[in-house]
Structure 1
């Protein structure tokens, strides 16, 4: 099991009191060369109470890239025993670093020319290890074009996401009941994408877009922003009987402020001819945890498998080319998850692409009942035509 948490503000609980003078490193990273960052005594376990720091400095025009493919630290709640810290801003004090414990992998790219790594361990630690490769990666030619990034790589036994783990997630709220009733996904500074059926019976004046949210009961994220909806475009071919063309574009009354906690999903321009059968997609939502049950206070995630059109059509004869089916026993979207994204992680760049929109989730993980979702790659031209003032990343 793998846990990561954001913003390491308190580093002293259960740890030794001072950083080891002989475990503090600075590397000037040259383009085309690979450097290694690893725990003391690697591949054996480090000793208890060790504290180390590594700072990578990359050339002008480059970012530092860290690929950690062997992490095995003691797993504790809040990573209170040992933690691996990574600051993408290169902060040498690691005060704003993401931190990790447990077993897994991490890839991080610096926001500038520096990246900082720290290892903080308890004097009661049973030991652990990690190994990372550090390289210089050419900076993007358009640094303002960014999409599909994640805040952390948190994976736990349950399905609650990390706070702002998925910056592209949005909620479609009904003002009269002050409740998120559908999911949505940010596609640009003024537009979000959702399901057409989420707008049934609703007036624009009763709709609001919420971004940067996690716990809907307390609004615990400082990134939370709320917007009025000034226009809603439903696909003209939307068919309620079989949910064909179940897509809508909503425009906010002001620009969404982007940060590492709030930002757009990547649209799947490079996947227009990809079938995705056998791929895993991540569904997000605040919907009910079981049919007829209460909605979740926290943003939830679940990974589901894409099944072939032919096998899905055996169960759903009305299936069309604008739809994509998912089925994993015991895992599915449920009520109030509609409109949320189905995200595909591109292994070549780690970015998240909106491949689907939760559309027909009425079965809620019913046996042999696939989820039927809107297939976004089939509708990209319509999205672009109806957002003429938006700009998109082609990544």
Structure 2
């Protein structure tokens, strides 16, 4: 824009503009000189377009450290690095040693059992099956079981390849606890060891050699054709199957009757989102047995389930949160179409407290054969008839097998 050089240049400041300071002015024509003298700007008000310089702070003045301080800092860092390196090396060495020990000392991974004489890995199903899979036959030397409804303690003889009952002569509770532990039971659940007269006559027994000294229980046992007391050992490793219900109660074949507390202390209600889905039975404080069809599909996740024990009425579950489930294991050969092998296990996150109203049921022992027309008891919160509503009160009924 052409302006008279004798006039001072005119600038517009759009930054700081206090009220009533500027005098309004008309736009200036490019070829006309302004009609008014330039306005007066107070000294505090800039009358130029400010330029914003880039701020650059002066670098801080670094005071030189004395040589001793530098040396100290350097030595501390060096020491820390050395300590950290040594710790990492030691951790790696310890981890490697543990892994080497684990794979060397436990060459049979998974559920296999190692033969002590040969190092051969043998499946648990091959132990005590009457066939020697270890070179020294140790897989058939420590075989013990509870047989029949009377829980008769029997020991397998690898020589004669037969099972024999243990004679009660010189037997005591300590031997009973050892036998239960060998079968995988927790010694804290041990119940009793007593002598009973067997229902069928035995011609051979396993007897204790009391003069054998303080050696392994099974090395004290030897085969004998006589048992002075005539009684064999009945061993109960858990306090299971004890109900206040009479063994032969008066009841109906169908329909059932309302139960009372302690009739069926192993009965539990398995629920999803507050609804009763299936029943189950306590077999240990941590484990529940139920049907595999109850936990198939989307219900196979333990997250959905709550287990209620020690209850009589379904309405009681409203006042408790139940027990959470940690793991569900269905029978590997369960068939959802035919319902073959329809059994599953639930492991609880927290063990149940065993009481008069919360107690395990007994699992069937080998030799327990159910005869035709034998009466059995069924308990649960089922319906009285097909398609009927679920009972609120626990029901027990007798049926014919």
Q: TM-score range by the shorter chain?
A: 0.3 to 0.5
TM-score under structure 2 length normalisation: 0.38
Query: Higher strand fraction: Structure 1 or Structure 2?
Result: 1
Query: Higher helix fraction: Structure 1 or Structure 2?
Result: 2
Task: Say which one has the larger Rg.
Answer: 2
TM-score under structure 1 length normalisation: 0.38
